[in-house]
Amino acid sequence: MGRDRVMGAERTPLIAGNWKMYKTEAQSEGYIQALLPRVSSVSGVDIAVCVPYTDLRAMVDSARGSRVEVYAQNMHHEPQGAFTGEISALMLSELDVAGVVLGHSERRQLFGETDKALALKVPAALEAGIAPILCVGESEEERDEGETERKLRHQIGEDLAGVRDERLAEVTIAYEPIWAIGTGRVATPEQAQEAIAFVRALVGGRSPAAAEQVRILYGGSVKPDNAAELLELPDVDGALVGGASLEAESFAAIVAAAQS
């Protein structure tokens, strides 16, 4: 598997499906019934589906006792307050939601999500017992201008500023180059490994122990036919999957690739 580190850190891969704004509650039910038997014999891989708020309760109920954990796709950092249209970590944890995607590039680009807000959201999720997946990544223009590392340094520095070193390893980071999201244009294994090793080194700048333990996923046009070569990279600890997570069969195939 190529996951053995010099220090012997063993990181369980995570395959997380990001549904975005797809599937009503009724549609989610058919999906989970199709997914569960396909992943019931999988071992050594954590599985999550990140679903719209309106699907959370039904999905948590249907997935209970299975290997599949249910995540939300955003949350507010305050437990409650006058924040019309927002959902808090407290509300998610009462539903037994296991985790939350934070800082997805669509939220940053289309809904004005800021690094300042993420610096509050990531620790708030940890505090509430909700596992955060923090998304980072550069645009095509930033990559072309040689700005990838500067962007990643900025995002990791700002977004994790409120997390104590002892808890850094509890955050999952997803490296998602924006030019690879929903485009079918997957990063090459070299690009993915290089960026993810850089992110790990950034975490290592704060805590070498956390760098060994922290899970870093690749995201951006992961499909059943390219998953294996990405997942075998030494620093890649799983995938955040958009389009290919919408069908139970293709999502299960990516989970299987993480196991082999």
Kindly identify the residues of this chain, within the stretch 14-43, that bind ligand PGA according to CB under 6 A. Answer: 18
Closest by CA to 196, choosing from 109, 135, 259, 129, is: 135
Segment contacting ligand PGA (CB under 6 A): 36-44, 188-196, 205-213, 214-222? Answer: 214-222
- For residues 206 and 211, give the distance between their C-alpha atoms in angstroms, rounded to a whole number: 8
Q: How far is the CB of 242 from ligand PGA (least distance, A)?
A: 2
The pattern of x and - marking residues 231 through 260 that bind ligand PGA according to CB under 6 A reads ---------xxxxx----------------
Size of the site for ligand PGA (CB under 6 A): 13
Q: Active-site residue 104, yes or no?
A: yes
Write the CA distances from 121 to 54, 78, 178, 250, integer angstroms: 21, 8, 21, 31
Classified as helix, coil or strand, 49 is strand
User: Could you say which DSSP state residue 46 is in?
Assistant: E
Binds ligand PGA by CB under 6 A, chosen from 182, 205, 225, 260: 182
- CA 223 to mean position of chain CA atoms: 16
* Active-site choice (104, 106, 113, 138): 104
Using the Cα atoms of residue 84, residue 89, residue 94 and residue 96 in order, give the sign of their dihedral.
positive
181 in contact with ligand PGA (CB under 6 A): yes
**Between 210 and 257, whose beta carbon lies closer to ligand PGA?**
257
Q: How far is the CB of 91 from ligand PGA (least distance, A)?
A: 23
Write the CA distances from 172 to 13, 29, 81, 192, integer angstroms: 10, 27, 27, 16
Residue 18: phi and psi, rounded to 5, are -105, 105
- For residues 232 and 214, give the distance between their C-alpha atoms in angstroms, rounded to a whole number: 17
Q: Are 195 and 238 in contact (CB under 8 A)?
A: no
Q: Active-site residue 154, yes or no?
A: no
Q: How far is the CB of 218 from ligand PGA (least distance, A)?
A: 10
The pattern of x and - marking residues 121 through 160 that bind ligand PGA according to CB under 6 A reads ----------------------------------------
**Between 233 and 244, whose beta carbon lies closer to ligand PGA?**
244
**Catalytic residue numbers, as ranges:** 104, 176
Give the binding site for ligand PGA (CB under 6 A). 18, 176, 181-182, 219-222, 240-244
